[in-house]
Structure 1
Amino acid sequence: MNVEVRLFATLREGRGKKVYFQLKAGLTPRIIIKELNIQEEDIAILLINGRDGDFDRPLMEGDYLSIFPPVGGG
């Protein structure tokens, strides 16, 4: 089973809109972020299944991860 990772805005550059990771024991958002070469300080919002997520929460079958960078504007 795969974990779907949805990337937004500038985080898509060179990575694509969606990335899939093979689910294995101990897989966490922190591991995925490291594998994607994204710096934690470049992440403003991390959601797991549409809810506020934790970097160290073990992912489960069917989970999807959404990662958003800081957004400017005004």
Structure 2
Amino acid sequence: MKITVKLFAIFRNDRFKIEDREYPKDATVGDVLTALDIDHPELGVALINGRHVDTETVLTDGQTLSLFPKVGGG
């Protein structure tokens, strides 16, 4: 299935900003993180089509997944 993946902030380093990618049927948000070599604890927010989801959410063909890292500051 084809998923549009949008990466933000440090997740773009050595990766991409937006890309259409193929994933197996029933892939989860966590599977995408693993495929992109992003440690799950680094994830701050995941959105599918603009709605907040968790790493166990199953993706379906044609969705847009946006991934934001945790933000630090002080």
The answer to whether TM tops 0.5 is yes
Residue 9 of structure 2 corresponds to 9
1 CA distance for matches of 2:13 and 2:56? Answer: 25
- TM-score, scaled to structure 2: 0.87
Shift in Å at residue 62 of structure 1? Answer: 1.5
1 CA distance for matches of 2:31 and 2:20? Answer: 13
Task: Indicate how the Cα distance of structure 1 residues 23 and 38 shifts in structure 2: closer, same or farther if over 3 A, else same.
Answer: closer
The reply to whether residue 71 of structure 1 matches residue 71 of structure 2 is yes
Shift in Å at residue 49 of structure 1? Answer: 0.8
1 CA distance for matches of 2:20 and 2:10? Answer: 18
Per-residue CA deviation, residues 7-65 of structure 1 (Å, 9 max, x unaligned), is 00010000010133214311111111001000011111111110011211211121110
Instruction: Give the total of aligned pairs.
Output: 74
Residue 31 of structure 1 corresponds to 31
Structure that is richer in strand per residue? 2
Note the residue ranges of structure 1 that are not aligned, 5 or more in a row: none
Question: Counterpart of 2:4 in 1: which secondary structure?
Answer: strand
Residue 45 of structure 1 corresponds to 45
Question: Counterpart of 1:26 in 2: which secondary structure?
Answer: coil
Question: Counterpart of 1:15 in 2: which secondary structure?
Answer: coil
Q: Retained in 1: the 8 A contact 2:2–2:23?
A: yes
